Structure 1
Amino acid sequence: MKLLAHHELAGFGGLGEGMAMQLTSDGRRILWLAHESAPKNFSGVDVTDPTAPKLIVQTELPHMKLRSNSLDVVGNTLVVAYQASEVGIKPAGVDIFDVSIPETPRLLSHFDCSGPHSRGVHAVWFVDGKYIHMSSGAPDFQPRNPLDDQFYRIVDISDPTKPFEAGRWWYPGTREGDEAPPPARLPKQFDTGFRTHNTNVFPDRPDRAFVGYIDGGAVVLDISDMKDIKVVSQWNHSPPFNGFTHTVLPLFDRGLWIVSDECVQDNGADWPKLVWVVDARNEANPVPIGTFPAPSFEAFAKRGGRFGAHNLHENLPGPTSFRSDTIIVGSFFNAGVRVYDTSNPYQVQEIAYFVPGAPKLSPAGAIQLNDVYVDDRRIVYTVDRFTGGLYILEMNI
C-alpha cells in the first residue's frame, strides 16, 4: 500500500462512515465525505488525480448537536444522514441534494425522522437512485429501551422533492406494544442496543436486505413486499462475544457473507472485534466457518483509541467502485486499513496493510481509520475519526 496523498480538509476532521464517489458530466471524480461531528456537514474532494486531491466544497451543519455520519451518491443525487445528540432535536433525518454542480450542492428536500424518542438517522444506503435504506428513528416509534431507537426504514425518493416511507422493520420485542418479549441483553458494559447499522441492498438481489443489527447480529430480510417485510435468517455470535454487528457483505456467487463487528471501546476493552466468514449457501441456516486474521493485540490494543474491526469496502454497484468476490478491504481504527484474500474462505490471508503514524492533535494518540472506499482504479481512500483527514493509497496486490 503506497501513500499517494494526504489531505487535512482545512483542519476539519471528525470523519464518519460516509464515503461515496461521483463521476461528473465533465469527467471529474468527486469523493464525498460525511463528518462525524459538528460544525462541518460534508466535504467534496476532487480526486480525479489521486496524487493531488482538491477540496472543492465543505458545508456547515445547522447546529452543534448534529452529526452527518453517513452519505451516499447516485448520479447527481446525494443523500446525507442527520443524527442528533439527543432525542427530540431537529433537524433529524435525511437531506437530499442535487450535486450536478458539485461546488454548490442544492437542497431538494428533507425527510423528517425526528420525534420524542428519535435521534434521527445514523446510516444510509442508496445505490439504485430510487430507495434509501437506512437506520433511523421515527416520530411514531417508542422503544422499550432507549438504546433500541433506530430500526430499518425504506424511503422512496423516485421524486427526490417528495420522499415518503415505503417500508419498515424492527427487531421483535424492541418497541412498546410489541407482543414479542424484549430480547435478552448483553452485560451492561457491552450493551449497545438492538438497532440497525448498515442496511445493504444490492441489485443482484433487490428482494434482500443484509442488515447489521448491532447486538441483534446479522439479519437478512425479504423485502420483496416492502409493506410486509419478513425475516429470512438471523445469525448472532453475541453472547459469548461482545456485540455490535456492523456490516453484512454478501458474496453472491460464492454463497458467503463477510460480517464485520465494530470496536466501540478504547484500549481493547471490548476485544475481540472481528471480521467473520459465514457460509450462507442455505440462507435460512448460515454457519460461521472462520474469521479474518486479526491484527496483533499486543501491538495495537494499548496504542491509543479503538482497536478492532469496523467497516468494509462494500462492493458498491456504482461505476466508480471496486468490486471483488475475493479481495476484501477493511478499516481497523488504530490498526489501519487491511486487505485480505478470501479465495480460501477457511484460511483467509492478509495481503496488504497501511498504518500511518498518529495525526497531529489526535485525542486518541494514534490513528483511528474509520472507513474505507476503493475505486475502480484500485485507489484506496480512508479517513480518520478525529483529526487525521483523508489518506489516498495505491493498492498493489
Structure 2
Amino acid sequence: MTPDHARNMRLIGHSDQGGKADGIQVMVHEGFAYIGHLFSQGFSIVDVRDPKNPKPAGYVAAPPNTWNVHLQVADELLLVIHGKDVFADAAFADEANYYKAAAGAALGTAAPNTARNWDAGLAVYDLSTPGQPRRIGFMAVSGGIHRIWWTGGQWAYVSALLDGYTDFIFMTVDMSDPTNPREAGRYALPGMHQAAGETPSWAANRKFGLHHALVSGDIAWGAWRDAGLVVMDVADRANPKLIKHVNWSPPFQGGTHNCLPLTDRDLLVVLDEAVLDDFEDGLKNIWIFDVKDPANPIPLSTMPPPSDASYARKGAHYGPHNIHENRPDTFQSSSLIFSTWQNAGVRIFDISDECLPKEVGALVPPPPRSMMDQRPGKKPIIQSCDIFVDKAGLIYVTDYNAGLYIMEYTG
C-alpha cells in the first residue's frame, strides 16, 4: 500500500477492521486497538501486537439506532458512549443539517420527555482480559453522550445531551464505583437550559454545544464548537464554574473540537474541525494560545495548512479533525503535535517556537478501496479521522471508510 504523499513518515500496517472499515476514535491498550464506528454502530477490537499485521479480534454491537463513536481506556476499563446514530437518520443525509443546528432541536431532546428510539448513556467494560471487553456498568443520560475524557481514577468528564438543554453540556462523572457511574456536576453556557426559561443569544444555525473538554489539574478546557473555548474551574467537581469564555467565530469559522493543554509551557493547542464537504465551511485552524493566565487566553499563532497539494479542491472534508491528546501512558510531547486533516491525511507539527510552528511530517494514505459511507454524493477520498500515538511512537489513525492505519514518524 503506497501513500499518496509522505514526508518523514511511513506506513507500517493496515486493517479493514473485519470488514467494518469505518473508524472514529481509537484507543490502544495492551496490544489491542478499540475503535468506535461511524456507520457500523458498535465498536471493534483489533489485535495490533504485530503492528505490521494487525488482525480483527472482535466486535461489540450497539443497541438499535445507537452509535459508539467515542471511547476511553484506563485502569483496565473501557468507557464507551451511547448516543443517537445520527447519520443513519435520513434527516441528516446532508451533514449540514446536523452541524448547522442545535443538537437538542435536531434530535428532539430540547423538549423534555420526547420519544426517542436510541440508547443513551455511558457503558463501562472490564478489560482485565485484554481484547475481551466485559460490560459491567452503565449510566443513563437522557439524550446521550458524545465524547469522554477519562485517564483513570475517580473523575470522568463527558459532553452530555440532557433533556431541556439546547445542545451538549459539560458533565463530571464519579467513577469510584465503575459498575455504577454517577453524575456529580454540570456546566452549561447561559442560554442553553431552555427548559428553565433560558433563551440563546446566538442564531439557531450556530452550534453552541460542547464537543469535549480535556482536564488538567483543576481546569477543564472545553471545546464548545461554534462557541469556541470555554475554560472551567473544576476544583469542586460537583460545581464546575466558568473561568473564561473566548470565541473567535465570527470572524473565523467555528467548530472548535479539541483543546490540548501543554501545562509545562503554559500553552493551549486548540483545533477547529472542518465538518462539511468541498471546503464549504472554509479554512479551519489549529491555534496556539498562551494560557499563563487561564482567564486571559492569548492567541499566538496557527499551524500552517498543508501546501503539498490543492486539498481544498480535492473534495470531501478538508481541514483539521483531531489531535493526539497526550494521554498518560502514551507518547507525550509539548513540542510535537500530531493531527489529522481528513483528505490531507496526517500532519505533524513542531511547535518548539510557539509563534512559528512548522510542519515536520506528513502522510496521506491512498483512496479507500470501498465506501462505508453510503450517504448521497460521498466520494472515495481519504478522510483521516482520529489519531493515537503510543509510548513507542507508533501512530494509529482511523478513517471513515478505509479502516485503521499504523504509521511511524521518521523525522
TM-score calculated relative to the size of structure 2: 0.86
The counterpart of 2:125, out of the listed 91, 97, 104, is 97
Determine the structure 1 residue equivalent to 2:48.
47
- SS of the residue corresponding to residue 158 of structure 2 reads strand
Determine the structure 2 residue equivalent to 1:132.
156
2:369 partner letter: K
Q: Structure 1, residues 234-286: CA drift from partner, whole Å, max 9, x if none? A: 22110111211000001111111100011011011111111001111121111
Q: Structure 1, residues 321-373: CA drift from partner, whole Å, max 9, x if none? A: 00001000001100100000000111101000000111012343210001101
Instruction: State the distance in 2 between where 1:281 and 1:195 align.
Output: 26
2:11 partner letter: L
The counterpart of 1:345, out of the listed 327, 345, 354, is 354
- Alpha carbons 1:44, 1:102 under 8 Å: kept: no
- Alpha carbons 1:303, 1:365 under 8 Å: kept: no
- Alpha carbons 1:57, 1:102 under 8 Å: kept: no
- Alpha carbons 2:172, 2:238 under 8 Å: kept: no
2:311 partner letter: F
2:323 partner letter: L
Determine the structure 1 residue equivalent to 2:59.
58
Instruction: State the distance in 2 between where 1:184 and 1:216 align.
Output: 9
- Cα root mean square deviation, aligned: 1.7
- Alpha carbons 1:136, 1:152 under 8 Å: kept: yes
Offset at residue 48 of structure 1 (A): 2.1
TM-score calculated relative to the size of structure 1: 0.89
Instruction: State the distance in 1 between where 2:340 and 2:71 align.
Output: 17
Structure 1 gap segments, 5+ residues each: 24-28
- Alpha carbons 1:134, 1:198 under 8 Å: kept: yes
The counterpart of 1:122, out of the listed 146, 160, 165, is 146
Determine the structure 2 residue equivalent to 1:37.
39
**Structure 1 residues 227 and 179, CA, compared in 2 at 3 Å: closer, same or farther?**
farther
Offset at residue 180 of structure 1 (A): 6.0
1:164 partner letter: R
Further displaced range: 3-12 or 177-186: 177-186
- TM alignment of 1:228-377, pairs within 5 A: 228-296=239-307, 299-317=310-328, 319=329, 321-362=330-371, 363-377=378-392
- Alpha carbons 1:133, 1:153 under 8 Å: kept: yes
Instruction: State the distance in 1 between where 2:173 and 2:242 align.
Output: 19
Instruction: State the distance in 2 between where 1:111 and 1:364 align.
Output: 38
2:40 partner letter: A
Further displaced range: 329-338 or 102-111: 102-111
The counterpart of 1:174, out of the listed 176, 192, 213, is 192
Instruction: State the distance in 2 between where 1:104 and 1:376 align.
Output: 22
Count of residue correspondences: 369
- Alpha carbons 2:279, 2:315 under 8 Å: kept: no
1:152 aligns with 2:170: yes
- Alpha carbons 1:56, 1:103 under 8 Å: kept: yes
Instruction: State the distance in 2 between where 1:253 and 1:47 align.
Output: 32
Instruction: State the distance in 2 between where 1:103 and 1:285 align.
Output: 44
Offset at residue 184 of structure 1 (A): 2.2
1:15 aligns with 2:31: no
- SS of the residue corresponding to residue 308 of structure 1 reads strand
Offset at residue 175 of structure 1 (A): 1.1
Offset at residue 297 of structure 1 (A): 9.6
- SS of the residue corresponding to residue 264 of structure 2 reads helix
Higher relative contact order (CA 8 A, sep 6+): 2
**Structure 1 residues 297 and 196, CA, compared in 2 at 3 Å: closer, same or farther?**
farther
